[in-house]
Amino acid sequence: MSTLESGLNTKRTAVSLSGLPLFALAFQTLGIIYSDIGTSPLYVLNGIWPSSNPPPSTEDIIGGLSAIIWSLTLLPLIKYAFISLWFGTKEGEGGSFALYQGLYPRKELDMDADRTLTGESNFTNELPKKRTIKDKARWPLLIWCLLGTALTMADGVFTPAVSVTSAVGGIGVAKPDVIKDIIPISVVFLLALFFVQQFGTQRLAFVFAPISFVWFLLLIGTGIYNITFFPGVFRAFDPSRAVLLFVRTKDYSLLSGVLLAVTGPEAIFANLGQFNATSIRISFAGFVYPALVIAYLGQGARLIDNGVAILPNVFYTSIPGPTGGPLYWIMFVFGILATLIASQAMITATFSLIQQVINSKAFPPLRMYYTSETIQGQVYIPAANWTLMVVTIIVVAAFKDLLALTLAYGFAVSTVMFSTTWLLAIQMYYVKHLPLAIAVGFFVVWGFFDGLYWGAAIKKVPHGAWVPLMIGIILLSVMFLWVWAKALEDRFDGKNRMNLRHFIHQKGISNTENETEVTKDMTYYMVKDSANNSIDEKSTDHEISEITRIPSCAIFHKLASGSGVPHTFTGFIRQWPALPRVVVFLSVCIVPTARVPVEDRYALTKVRTIEGFYGVTYYIGFRDDFDVKVDDLIDKICQLEAQFNPGGSAAIVREIRTVSHSATHIVPHYHIMAKKTGTGRFGALVNATRKFFIENIYYRLATMFPETANWLTSADEIIHVGINAVI
């Protein structure tokens, strides 16, 4: 065989920038990542001390501020910005699922082997091996990781709901008669937010980053002014004040309010694929973190100075100047804009996570649109966007009490943070190969803090936190079912791949004087046993069926990678016992560049022992449309034939070009059926349950969301071929 190498880099890598472009990227993060945690000052202090309660004492306020400051320091700053970002994948992706991929990386595709049609099944020589602790923990960790991923997606619902409703609530402070209209106004803003997602992360960041920058400057300015009302508020930097608060009040539930100050840290990690670690660290440590600390200190100082007047809505009543004055409305407008951008942070993170799970075959393949010419991680997923919009509006309408909404939000956040700590500790030992003591120490320290927050949040499940839990469990169920059933389908495909030479044979003498007769002087036949299984022609227990070679061209789309001929092709030949003159097995490889030049798009391998068979890899950039140009492909095939037969290829080339005018795209798929595996007393129940999930749910989802959703656009003629697969 001979291969035309494209020379393309097929491996995606992390975004690498320096100098001015790095600082520009860091500035963009303000508009995408931090507005979630940056808008927490709108509701945190009222989450700790509701307006319906008496004003807290000075020492309680100092203790609460201390808990907020050290929570911001230990979790978003140290754990996420400086530790978690070190654990992104080689492709630069972050989030819970990226941690799992680090432990159990996807098998790298060998595109040369994928074009090998005479190879053996990948499963024929499998030998049992001793399973390690890591191997045994694979499925439990997968479930735990998928739960964290699912709850992060649930954050994509609750972040817009909480942030926008909190900001719009400022109208009620200046205009009490408008309180009844807060929900409808919030819904209008949310509709606008989800509508603009289609313009892409880069364009939104260009617009949102300056707004977020001004918002953080306003927080710093008002915070510094408010601190002058009680400079003693700086005692909050003493961590013992936080400990004494809980010792004195014995009110563990205060932590569920403190937790609201650190909402959104998972966006720091999950958005790693949209930016890079250095840009995120620069912007958070250098600008966002100081702004938040100053804002909370200022609010606390005003609450100490005049608690009765400030407590009804700590954020809006602590704005310098009169209620309804110019600065008040400036803060209100930027608060609304910042909360819309805060919602953008988790929506973008949700898109990034969905892209990861789709690429890892852990979620139905939704249609994705790449919105950046340079960063592959920036995607827009219409189905996810509109689903998030509908669910978010339902949540806003259902939770008329803002406090209940924020408590539900906190549960999702704390569970995801706890999940990330587990996975980070395991990665430290197994992937980064750090000493076990470091991994255990990390888990003990951050697991303790995460556990405290998670324990406080889980107590709120009956009061509204059951909603994100329900959403997370639904998403977890879909992802787990897809991982399990897709693995069974891929295993079936791998086990049933065949060496083309064991399936198709040819006899005859090539007429070297007239190469146009090469296909006419050959007899093609298929060898199979009585069970329709392909076997070697030397076997004695077989039947031979002659196959007619017809003057046409067929492009057979391979849905799974691996050497050999896919099982769907052998089924196709049995249904239509005829071979086209040109048979192309097409694999698709999306490379980590925006666009691939036409001359580099096709890499070919020719089967030398059977005329007319070619393995082709179609390389496309993540911004390229799937559009197989038959003329370009035939040009490459003719060039390959000229290499093999420099002196007598003219006639073959003419024949290939002639039949290419009737090219047909053949798109295969499996009709999935469940295998009966259950035995014994509960065998019938096991088989019925298995059949229900595989045939009634997985197969229907696979039919609704085919793997070609991100491939096929238009073709002159497409034949869909279905083959039974018992899994």
Phi and psi for 432 in degrees, rounded to 5? -85, -10
pLDDT of 267 > 70? The answer is: yes
Predicted confidence band of residue 45 (pLDDT cuts 50, 70, 90): very high
CA dihedral 646, 650, 656, 657 (to 10 degrees): 120
Residue 329 to residues 79, 210, 310, 545, Cα–Cα distance (Å): 36, 18, 17, 83
- Strand 602-606 versus strand 613-621 pairing type: antiparallel
Greater confidence, 575 or 367? 367
pTM over 0.85: no
333-373 pLDDT tens trace? 898 888 777 777 677 778 877 887 887 788 888 888 877 66
281-317 pLDDT tens trace? 999 999 999 999 999 999 999 999 988 889 988 998 9
210-224 pLDDT tens trace? 888 999 999 999 999
101-154 pLDDT tens trace? 888 887 766 777 778 888 765 554 555 566 777 888 888 888 888 887 788 787
pLDDT of 512 > 50? The answer is: no
User: Tokens 């079936």 sit at which residue?
Assistant: 492
User: 589 has which bridge partners?
Assistant: 619
Residue 154 to residues 38, 151, 264, 477, Cα–Cα distance (Å): 19, 5, 12, 14
pLDDT of residue 428: 92
Q: Which domains does the chain have, with CATH numbers?
A: 24-105+145-487 (1.20.1740.10), 497-726 (no CATH)
pLDDT of 441 > 90? The answer is: yes
pLDDT winner (highest mean) among 235-244, 373-382, 448-457: 235-244
C-beta separation of 467 from 408 below 8 A: yes
Angle between helices 326-359 and 201-227 (to 10 degrees): 140
Share of the chain above pLDDT 90, in %: 20
174-204 pLDDT tens trace? 677 666 777 888 888 888 888 888 776 666 6
Predicted confidence band of residue 458 (pLDDT cuts 50, 70, 90): confident
Q: Kindly report which listed range (229-243, 357-371, 505-519, 601-615) carries the lowest average pLDDT score.
A: 505-519
pLDDT of residue 4: 39
pLDDT of residue 437: 95
pLDDT of 542 > 80? The answer is: no
